Amino acid sequence: MSDFTEVAGRLIRAIEDWPEPGVTFRDITPLLADAEGLSATVTALVDAARAFGPLDAVAGIEARGFLLAPLVAEALKIGLVPVRKAGKLPAATLAESYSLEYGEATVEIHADAVPAGSRVLLLDDVLATGGTLRASARLFEHAGAEVAGALVLIELPALGGRSLLTDVPLTALLEY
């Protein structure tokens, strides 16, 4: 983890006033573009994911969770379920709307994405206000799955997102 922390600290950049004034965006693309950074990131995520116990699937949350979740799912030899923005999935869906720090959004999963009783790990890049992860957890609960936990690369504690996830075990690799 210390290797990851050092590399991430060097490569994750802050973009001020994006996507709106007053928002500081944590850009992980330099971390993922760097071979050492990508390797350290995947290792740290897989190690953290194993702490949640046996899992049946990793849920990659759009959009940057899509970049991370397949790597973790493959390393753990389990399935991958995309959590998409509304209107992006072709079959019957379950939907959940939520608020985020600069607007409203809806996420969806296929209604048949996981069998009832499956243990699912939610994976995203950043926990900010918690709306996306809370909505994603509700989707899997509606599908009859057990949300084993949530794993994020970065948590922004000042935005209080963790307070929406009191019933979901949460691990953040970094805090800003």
pLDDT tens figures, 98-111: 976 667 899 999 99
Region 50-64: what's the mean pLDDT? 97
Which domains does the chain possess? 53-175 (3.40.50.2020)
- Encode 85-124: b = buried (16+ Cβ within 10 Å), e = exposed: eeeebeeebbbbebeeeeeebebbbbeebbeeebbbbbbb
Which residues sit opposite 78 in a β-bridge? Answer: none
Catalytic residue of the set 36, 62, 101, 146: 101
Q: Is residue 155 among the annotated active site residues?
A: no
Catalytic residue of the set 26, 64, 119, 134: 64
How far apart CA 61 and CA 137 sit, in angstroms, is: 11
Q: Is residue 6 among the annotated active site residues?
A: no
pLDDT tens digits, one per residue of 74-133 = 999 999 999 999 999 999 999 999 976 667 899 999 999 999 999 999 999 999 989 999
